[in-house]
Structure 1
């Protein structure tokens, strides 16, 4: 099962730049998904619907 890597104490898995790039990509993909699925609702539209 797995195999994977052996991680030693104090070993850095990824640099800060790689981690930041991954997080930025994840945020971008999530925002695109929310727009595609209609989860982002304009505040003005939401206010009109709640009336």
Structure 2
């Protein structure tokens, strides 16, 4: 399962609004950058 689909599933399960969901994605992006992981490559690698 891709990162993106996992995020969308979590959004539905947690009943997050679009604003809350975008906040979660920003937080994940920030954590990735702090760890030296490229968020975009993490997401795109898992889309296939």
When you count helix as a share of all residues, which structure comes out higher? Answer: 2
Larger Rg: 1 or 2?
1
